[in-house]
Structures are given as structure tokens and as C-alpha cells.
Amino acid sequence: MSNTAAFRFATFYKKKSISQHEVSQQIQIFLEDVEKDASTSLLARLPRVRSILTHLNEAAPINTQLYDEIFEQFDGKIEIHLHPCFLQNTRKGINTFLGDVLLQYWPELDGNLISFSSCVPTLEGDMLGVNPYVQCKCSFKGISLAPKKDARGVGRVERNSDASYIVVLTLSLVNVVIKQKYLEKHGFTYDGSWIGPDNKNILGALMEFKFDQTTTDENGAWTAKSPKILSHEPSQVVNTDENSIKVTSTRKSRSRSPRRTG
């Protein structure tokens, strides 16, 4: 059963950067743990989590530190209202709730939740008066995709036919827009499609960049600058979810279209 109840509050602390290697290890452990007793909604998201892991593993032979600047690990505390079917198993209810927000942008976290572990109730569930929900406070640990301004990012060029920008897909999860002025500054040219400094078409190329804007608000996709081609070799990653190019939010999940700039 999917839990649709809202949370009352959430706090996150002990945030710190985590290396690409550590993220790979933690995601692998997470996948092994949750597959044993995952909710339907969580199972539906696991292919995209595996895709992130595959991207990290694919990047390792090129550079073991490519993604070192965009992930954080954290401790969290949250109060949630669970369906009463979880009254005798609040731990499962917590996992169900976190599964529902997995991969989505969480404003209080300022990032996308990638994995979670060590979910422990800190207060036994109580019925909320006449409301058909169980109040539960809990703690957990997790990893988030939370790049800061000027942090290094990596992704594949998904769209290069518009003269005003290109779209780079990072980790099969988030669209990143790089505008014309930054492309031309670094030797890229446009002739019906964008061409790299090496005179090769950049569609599908692995590109490094620096994040410029990483909010997922009403203004659209994330933006970046300082583009640099790392490889023209095709990706070995297969997107298993047609919604993988969406930037989603716990406030409202929807597709993000990049803004056109003149």
C-alpha cells in the first residue's frame, strides 16, 4: 500500500560531501536492502536508482572523482502521518514514505533523495484523534543529489539542435541547460547543431561542466557553465524509465522544460 499522508516537519543535519566511490557503495547496499521488502511505489523507482549506479560505475574508468562534488550524506529527523495499517509496523511505514519521495526534489533537504538507511522510530505511533492516520517521529540517514553553485557536474548531451542552448542529462535524472554564451566562450560553434572545439557533433557526448543554478523552482531546469567534452564514446547506460528526464519535486511532480533565452 502506498502512503499518501504528508509529513509535519523534517530537519536535516550533519550534512557533508561524499565521494563518488562511497556513493556507489551506499547505493549498492541500499538496493540490496530495500528489494527484500519494498513498496510498489519504491519498486517502480529502483530501475532509475540502478541507472544512477551504472552511470557512476561507467565514469570510474575515466575519473574516479567526476561526481565527487554533487552528493551529500546526511542525518534526518521527520514527523510523518502514516496509514493505520502501519500501526504495528512503523518501520515499514517509514520506509514506504521515504520510498514515495525517493529521487524527488525535497525543498527542506535542498536536493534529490537518492537513498536512505537506518530508519528508526523515535516515538511509537499514536492515532491522531479522529483522523485515520498514525503520527510517527523517526530518524534516518541518507544520500542526496545536492550540487552547489560552481560544483563540477557530468552528463550526456541530450539536445543540441537549438541555437540558444543545449540540454545535458546528468545521471539519467536531471536536465541541465548550458546557454549559448557559455558554449561560445569555450570554443563551441553552432551550424544547425552544436559542434565541439574538436569539430565533432556533441550529441551524446560525455560533458563536464560547472553548475550555475541548481534550484528546481518554477523557472525550469538547472543551468550550468564552463562546458568541456570528456568523451565521444557512447554511453552503456540504458534509460529504463521514460520519465527519467524529469526534475521532480515533493511539492508537485512534473516535467521541466528548459527556458529559451534570446
SS3 string, 175-234, reads: EEEEEHHHHHHCCCEECCCEECCCCCECCCCEEEEEEEECCCCCCCCEEEEEEEEEECCC
Domain 148-262 has CATH 3.40.50.800: no
Q: Would you say residue 166 has pLDDT above 60?
A: yes
Other Cβ atoms within 10 Å of 54 Cβ, number: 18
Render pLDDT for 84-128 as a digit per residue (tens, 0 to 9).
777 677 777 788 888 888 998 888 888 899 999 988 877 655 554
**Torsion, CA 196, CA 211, CA 259, CA 165, rounded to 10:** -10
Give pTM, 2 decimals.
0.77
Residues 189, 213: Cα–Cα separation, whole Å: 23
β-pair partners for 1? none
List C-alpha distances in Å: 231 to 1, 53, 152, 176, 185.
Answer: 44, 19, 16, 18, 20
> CA of 2: how far to CAs of 41, 137, 243, in Å?
7, 18, 19
The Cα–Cα gap between 146 and 70 comes to 5
Among 26, 29, 35, CA closest to 71: 26
pLDDT digits (tens, 9 = 90+) for 48-68: 999 999 988 877 777 778 888
pLDDT tens sequence across 185-201? 999 999 999 999 999 99
Cα 146 to Cα 222: distance, rounded to the nearest angstrom: 12
Distance (Å, whole) CA 160 – CA 1? 42
Every domain of the chain and the residues it spans? 7-145, 148-262
- Grid coordinates standing for 248? 521532480
At 92 the pLDDT is 77
H-only helix segments in the chain: 20-34, 40-59, 90-101, 180-185
